Amino acid sequence: MSLKNNNIWSDIDWPTIGIYFLLVALGWFNIYSAVYNEDQHEVFSFASRYGRQLIWIGASFVIILITLILDSKFYSAFSFPIYSVVILLLLAVLIFGVRVNGAKSWFVIGAIRIQPAEFAKFATSLALAKYLSQYNFKPEKIKFFLGFCLITFLPAVLILMQNDTGSALVFIIFFLVFFREGMPSVYLLVGFLAVTLFILSLLYEIPVVIIVLEFFGLLSFYLLRRELKWTFNAAIVIVVLNVIAWQISVRLFPELSLTYPLLVSLALSVLWYLTKIYKHKLKESYLLITILFASLMFTYSVDYVFNNVLDDHQQRRINHLLGIESDPYGAGYNVNQSKIAIGSGGAYGKGYLQGTQTKFKFVPEQSTDFIFCTVGEEWGFVGTSVVLLLFLLLMIRLVFLAERQKSVYSRVFGYAVTCIIFFHVAINVGMTIGLAPVIGIPLPFFSYGGSSLWGFTFLLFIFLKLDTNRNELVN
Amino acid sequence: MNQYINRKYVIVGIFSLVVLIFISRLFYLQVIDQSSKLLASNNVLRHVSKYPARGLVFDRNQKLLVYNEAAYDLMIIPNQLSEFDTLEMCEMLNLTKEQVIQRLSKAKAYSYYKPSIFEKLISARTYAPLQEKLYMYKGFFTQTRTLRRYPQKIAANVLGYVSEVDGKITKEKGYYKLGDYIGAKGVEKSYEKVLRGKKGVEIFMVDVHNRIKGRYKNGKYDTAAIHGGNITLTIDAELQIYAENLMQNKIGSIVAIEPSTGEILALVSSPSYNPELLVGRVRSKNYLELQKDTLKPLFDRPLMARYPPGSTFKTVNALIGLQEEIVHTWTRFPCVHGYVSGRFRMGCHPHKSNLDLIKSIQNSCNSYYAHLFRNLLDHPKYGSFENGFETWRKHVLSFGFGKRLGVDLPNEKQGYIPTINRYNRIYGEGRIKSLNIVSMAIGQGELLMTPVQMANMAATICNKGYYFTPHIIKELPQAFNDLKMPLTVKRYSDIDSVHFNPVIEGMYLAVNGLDGGTARNAAVKGLDICGKTGTAQNPGKDHSIFIAFAPKNTPKIAIAVYVENGGYGATWAAPIASLLIEKHLSDTITRKYLENHVLKGDLIHVIKK
Ligand SMILES: [Zn+2]
């Protein structure tokens, strides 16, 4: 054992550490630029944001040392205790916490502010690693699925109660970890279908959703049977019936919603399909039709719940999230400004410290959630691509590391780390270029803030420590 | 578990796909998109708000009350400044050098890159020479605003004013940005949404030297400003002017209502101020001065002042007595120069004794109402004092007292009708006797009403039992018509309409009675004015009150006049009401001597010494 500890510097994965330091350094330079003001030449000061970030980076080295010195078995043995402590902290912050930007999720001790939600991610990763690596674990058993959901959603719900939607949504990504460990694909499909339908039914009118569902029904049928001719015939039937019903309703009942003729024609075509299915004994097609109708009911209930159960305030929040309500002075305004800032960077950027859009303070939260704007404006397409590719490289490297673990515990933890980083990058960058809803979550290693930096450092280096013992069983 | 090892490809595939999508999107945003290329050469965008003109305000005869005049804000972006002629700037704007320096540093402290206002609301006259020279002042530009103008200079309390939004408003209401204006008082506030219109924005690309390089994306993201909606008020400007003149040098209120609609014809708060004082650059200075004025010209008395109604309230007590069958029109009560009960005595002025109900209103007999009120509260049919009091209170509330009437102007006060709980607190649970509160029989004691509630009382009486919420708006743009809905609902008091006839007769005789009445000086031949005087006791000199309506059979105007420290109701309030009714109904004033007397009356400078 002591021999292993001596070898830590040769066993540790240096490429990952290299990317880590590169990202942290790039982040700091961009924070410096985001708060830099050429007219107010400040001497370097620890009171400024870049100064404080430097302190936090320094503190991360301490964190790195501690994580690497601790024995790998420590993490495995204390997975659940650490998880429990963090859950208690999340409860405590609900009671004793301080509200910052509308989210009651901060502890304030003197000049230091700590956000327990950042640590909930690594605690949950530890707990999941422990849970999914138990020797009698069977991914297809519903019992384990429920256990997984409990571990994942308990912290998520507590964070949601702190009004910190962004940090809570991160926990969804653990499904991807479970997927790697053998979650039946059907969960992923059902989840995907539900989320898609949920968003579709809020974004579009019900008739549009019906047509989309019809299309996917036909597509699934084709994928299931690979019978182009039958699929084609079925398509003809439904399209013709749809058009006839639509024409009749437009001419005879112009004030009627388009939903009804579409439903009637769908019902008629399903009748026709049923006779065919019965005749050709296409058993699995019954399931398809059941799913189709279940989806329809789901759409209706979402519509109903949204319009009749949720109050105005909640509706607006969801609309906001999906970008339906385009308030030019609200979230939409920020995204537009951020797109202009990034777009104005062009191919090669304006040069370091030369950004004007960001200086203009059009873009809010410049050094935290919208730090990617500074990259885009000052380093251009070259800069943004390099940063994204660095992240991709890191994620692929981490998957590679995870797969070479002998113990399942380490592998699960590795995937959890990777997926969390992925979710943050996807949402944060997506938000600045208008491809994801504006949810305030930081860009890993880049964004200003101690909690975020320390949280990700913890995650990454615990995994790197586990990786040094990759040939042992730590669970 | 390695049966799932291939899933790592799915996961890596998802990662790669997302990064690929992002990079393609970034390629489009940063390399392909045209406007990005323009912006890549160090250009910045300037968002220029286009401010709509606020809607105009007219009186009921389409006379213009409020219009707009163009004004200009001089804006500054500190990082684009170059050397400029400070002296010339001082001259043009009439500023001192210190002021200019101070404003420059304030703008710099706010932001080097964002525009801030250097001098706001510059009038068109000052703007003309400035505009010619502006090209020499790099970093300065102007934006167009509007100033409110008041051709009649009347009804300041009704029209209100606009003021700059503060940080609180910008946080609560997303529409407003710092530097915007919002209706802060009067109709400017209550019809803000109608009057303000909708801001537009123009986005320009400007280079580092502040030169406009063109519209961003050819104006694709620009929006036009939408002119505010015009509104017509129920106010009759001529009547309002006359009423304000009659109230000069007096403290108090006048509220005149058209009983058949609830439309407010005149709404005077005295002393008032010239609405032009609270416009533009001089606003804050004048506002502070008005605020310091001990006569409180900013206080909207007709809606906010709470006074005891005095004897005018006897009409309501008479109606409740009739409704509850405590009295009938023929019921008589004795008056021995007042009301006596044990060691308690409430005085009355000399008149023939043993009056019936109609005469009791004509002569305003205190004793009659003390009897009526105590008989009501102590009547055995209610079972307890508490029930008797609640019955009386319920009737009173049905007239709209003790709650906001819902006038479409901000800051209306409720008035106050005491509750049984209050008396239980004062006298102890169940210890209260009717004698303790007998002063409410004649409108004194704890009763408090606003002048608009008193005018509404007159309107309810002449309508024989119903009223419309008194309101100030007559016409709105089509889109806002639903704002008028609550104003068109008939609201009924719970007194049967037959009971109003004797009370109206009593009010008619109070003004026109040949055998005497409390307001004989208010009579005008042929106008059939009905009225009721009131005198509210007060630590200083009594308040003079008069409510009236006319003509008796087809009422066109109901009015309440309240003159603070004016003495008896007949002294000031009755003549003022009478002159206003005459003005409204016949458009001429026959009693010049009375008009002169009122115009000359100065109650303020008497108080002051
Ligand atoms: Zn008497």
Mean of the per-residue pLDDT values for chain A? 81
Contact state of A37 with B112 under an 8 Å Cβ cutoff: yes
Residues A213, A161: one domain? no
Residues A136, A38: one domain? yes
Q: CB B170: neighbour CB atoms within 10 A?
A: 17
Helices A142-161 and A116-132: crossing angle, nearest 10°? 180
- The dihedrals phi and psi of B53, each to the nearest 5 degrees, come to -75, 140
Can you say whether residue B411 is alpha, beta or left, with left for phi > 0 and alpha for psi between -120 and 50 degrees? left
- A293 inside domain: yes
Which chain A residue lies closest to B27 (C-alpha atoms)?
Answer: A381
Cβ neighbours of A361 in B, within 8 Å: 111, 113-114
Amino acid A356: pLDDT: 60
Least confident segment among B125-139, B198-212, B450-464: B198-212
Type of residue numbered B243: A
- A187 inside domain: no
Please check whether residue B257 is in contact with residue B577, taking contact to mean a CB–CB distance below 8 angstroms.
no
Cβ contacts of A41 within 8 Å, gap of 6 or more = none
Q: Which two tokens stand for residue B590?
A: 């026959």
Cβ neighbours of A430 in B, within 8 Å: 22
Rounded to the nearest angstrom, the distance between the alpha carbon of B501 and the centre of ligand 1 is 22
- pLDDT bin (cut points 50, 70, 90) of residue A365 is low
A136 and B CB contact within 8 Å: no
Q: Pick from A310, A333, A366: which residue ends a domain? A: A310
Instruction: Please compute the mean of the pLDDT values over residues B464-488 and round it to a whole number.
Output: 90
Q: Pick from A270, A295, A310: which residue ends a domain? A: A310
- A150 inside domain: yes
Residues A156, A271: one domain? no
- The dihedrals phi and psi of A347, each to the nearest 5 degrees, come to -75, -40
Which chain A residue lies closest to B1 (C-alpha atoms)?
Answer: A181
Residues A396, A298: one domain? no
Amino acid B358: pLDDT: 92
Residues A125, A19: one domain? yes
A354 and B CB contact within 8 Å: yes
- A105 inside domain: yes
Residues A175, A216: one domain? no
- A473 inside domain: no
Question: pLDDT tens-digit profile of A253-289?
Answer: 777 777 788 888 888 888 888 888 888 777 777 777 8
- The count of domains in chain A is 2
pLDDT higher than 70, residue A355:
no
Q: Pick from A293, A310, A327: which residue ends a domain? A: A310
- pLDDT bin (cut points 50, 70, 90) of residue B507 is very high
pLDDT higher than 60, residue B65:
yes
Residues A236, A172: one domain? no
Q: Could you say which architecture CATH assigns to the domain B46-77+91-233?
A: Alpha-Beta Complex (3.90)
The domain in which residue A231 lies consists of 204-310
Best probe of the A interface among B7, B26, B45, B113, by most A CBs < 10 A, is: B26
Question: pLDDT tens-digit profile of B329-340?
Answer: 999 999 888 898
Question: pLDDT tens-digit profile of A423-435?
Answer: 999 989 988 887 7
Question: pLDDT tens-digit profile of A21-51?
Answer: 999 999 998 888 877 755 455 556 666 778 8
Please check whether residue B594 is in contact with residue B575, taking contact to mean a CB–CB distance below 8 angstroms.
yes
Q: Say how many Å lie between the first and final Cα of chain A, rounded.
A: 16
Angstroms from B208 CA to nearest CA on chain A: 10
From the CA atom positions of chain A, what is the Rg in Å? 26
Cβ within 8 Å of B, A 183-222: none
- The dihedrals phi and psi of B345, each to the nearest 5 degrees, come to -145, 130
What residue segments make up the domains of chain B, in order of their start?
46-77+91-233, 237-278+302-608
Least confident segment among A19-23, A333-337, B255-259: A333-337
Cα B444 off chain centre by: 26
- Enumerate long-range contacts of B247-251, CB under 8 Å, 24 or more apart: B247/B563, B247/B576, B248/B599, B249/B601, B249/B602, B249/B603, B249/B604, B249/B605, B250/B563, B250/B564, B250/B566, B250/B572, B250/B601, B250/B602, B250/B603, B250/B604, B251/B295, B251/B301, B251/B563, B251/B564, B251/B565, B251/B603, B251/B604, B251/B607
Cα distance between residue B295 and residue B274, in whole Å: 15
Contact state of B5 with A408 under an 8 Å Cβ cutoff: no
Residues A29, A121: one domain? yes
Contact state of B26 with A381 under an 8 Å Cβ cutoff: yes
CATH topology of domain B237-278+302-608: Beta-lactamase (3.40.710)
Type of residue numbered B163: S
Amino acid B307: pLDDT: 92
Residues A53, A150: one domain? yes
Residues A172, A24: one domain? yes
Residues A210, A288: one domain? yes
B33 and A CB contact within 8 Å: yes
Q: Reduced to 3 states, what is the DSSP secondary structure of residue B131?
A: helix
A395 and B CB contact within 8 Å: yes
Entry pTM: 0.58
- A366 inside domain: no
Cα B28 off chain centre by: 55
Residues A291, A248: one domain? yes
Cα B313 off chain centre by: 24
